[in-house]
Chains A and B, each alone.
Chain A
Amino acid sequence: MENDKLIIEKVVVNGQEQICLKGTIDEDTDFSSLLKENGPMVLNLSGVTGINSLGIRGWVNFWKEQAGKKVFYVECPPVIVRQMSMIPSFTGTAEVVSVFAPYICDHCETEELVLVRSDEFSATPPQIKETFSCSKCQAGEMELDGGPNQYFAFRKK
């Protein structure tokens, strides 16, 4: 059902049931506990910290077999966004509701993740903050770590 590298648990956020994945997805990940879910599934991926090629393969093949199921990805962290951009079948038929965009301070290198909703990242160009003041050093500007076209490449696929 799960191993010590990936924890799968149900939580309720603002009245909505979400399935949270926390940890790394690899060759040892067993997705079968997700099969018990009926109806639309909201996967909160914010806790995913890593994934390797066998994890991607397992993920893609698992969701391919669940093709009729309505699945939503919420709060996708950068490591998941990167896989979505590289490998379109990683997203499959799921709907991406929100992703985290990584910002970094040009002065003190503090990092901050900013949540971007689908209506914002689907716009051309993506409607995201270009810069904002660093709350830590108060001297620098936070900017997206990497170009927006590169980061949001999954939109085109």
Chain B
Amino acid sequence: MKRSAKKSSTQDQSLLKTGLFSKEEASIFIRTGCAHLHSSILGSQDPTVAVSLNQLEGSPTSYSWEIAQTATPHRLTTSTDRNGVIENILSASSLAKRSQNRSRLHQVAEELLTNAIYHSYKNSDGSDKYDRREDAQLQSEECVLVRFAENLNGMNLIVEDQGGSLTLNDFQRAFERCYQRKNGREIGIETKHSGAGLGLFMVFELSAHIHVKVEKKKKTCFSVWIPDSQQFDPDTFSFNIFEE
């Protein structure tokens, strides 16, 4: 695992972008293959950039905002438990006592949990194992783990599935559709598509930091930082996906 990360580090580092971007500009970099992007007034001096570079070198350091890593996980085994888990998180959160924080956290959590249940487990032909129009009962080894922690500045939500099927390409396709519409082109939201893409787009728009770690066919760890609404700075965000 480490070796392959090191082997590809030169290539990956060239795909690390730093600067000051809008989310829409960032989406263009991501659509052209950028898997590591940091927007900050500090540019390449932003401390989160060093963490990304370390990770590319195979050093398993974590971002300072990932405060939920050691939190006790909520275990999710059925789609109908989603609301219960989300309500548990919301009721334990101090920041979510304010409706703007609550509503954004609710929206992000719902999309991440839904994607974890319905779009991470695949049949051998690559299609989704569980149909989003039906209730899903996960196998015991497919349990989705949800961790949450917060501080005065914001909230960290980590959703871990045991499918490991998310790719950079999923984000690229989602942004392609959603941001193209933003540019005024009349592109409808596909009716056939299961909806995973729009969910990813929404999570990207509502979060400041995203860190996704994928162990192919084993596990996806999707970690987001949602800043407190009063401290939200649209220019400060990062996106990192590590596929192993």
Residues of A within 8 A of B (CB): 27, 50-54, 56-57, 60-61, 64, 78-79, 82, 86-89, 102, 104, 109, 111, 145-147, 150, 157
Contacts and interface: CB of A to CB of B under 8 A. Distances in A.
Contacts of A64: 188
A107 to B, nearest CB: 13
Contact of A57 (B98, B198, B230): B198
Nearest to B203: A53
Q: Which secondary structure dominates chain B's binding surface?
A: helix
A146 B233 CA distance: 9
B236 to A, nearest CB: 13
A146 B189 contact: no
Nearest to B231: A146
Interface string B86-102: 00000000000111100
Nearest to B104: A82
Nearest to A113: B99
Interface stretch (B11-19, B62-70, B106-114, B148-156): B106-114
Interface of B: 97-100, 103-104, 106-107, 110-111, 114, 132-133, 178, 181-182, 184, 188-189, 191, 195, 198-199, 201-202, 205-206, 229-230, 232, 234
B100 A53 contact: no
A129 B162 CA distance: 49
B133 A27 contact: yes
Contacts of A50: 103, 106-107
Contacts of B205: 86
B198 A111 contact: no
Contacts of B188: 60-61, 64, 89
Given A56-B198, A89-B188, A146 B230 contact: yes
A53 B193 CA distance: 12
A4 to B, nearest CB: 14
A53 B103 contact: no
B99 to A, nearest CB: 6
27 contacts: A27-B195, A50-B107, A51-B107, A52-B107, A53-B195, A53-B199, A53-B202, A57-B198, A60-B189, A61-B188, A61-B189, A78-B99, A82-B104, A86-B202, A87-B178, A87-B182, A88-B181, A88-B182, A89-B189, A102-B100, A104-B100, A111-B98, A145-B99, A145-B100, A146-B100, A146-B229, A150-B234
